[in-house]
Amino acid sequence: MSKFTVVTLSLVLVGFLGACSPEVGSEAWCKQMKEKPSGDWSANEAKDYAKHCVFK
């Protein structure tokens, strides 16, 4: 396979995986974040969790 084909397939795969994540602030997202170790959260994720899941 050429490099172009590998890069294209990789980008398509990343696009499909990104589309599977729940919308920020949804119940599914809050549940996913609750199950994720808080040490692995980004600053933006922590802020969004507090805004959408704690202080509704």
What pLDDT, in 10s, does the model give residues 25-35?
Answer: 999 999 999 99
The domain limits of the chain are 22-56
Q: What is the pLDDT of residue 6?
A: 79
The string of pLDDT tens digits covering residues 7-52 is: 876 776 666 665 688 999 999 999 999 999 999 999 999 999 999 9
- What would the DSSP string read from start to end of 4-50? HHHHHHHHHHHHHHHHTSPPTTSHHHHHHHHHS-GGG--HHHHHHHI
Decide if 10 contacts 30 (C-beta within 8 A).
no
* pTM of this structure: 0.62
Please name the amino acid found at residue 23.
E
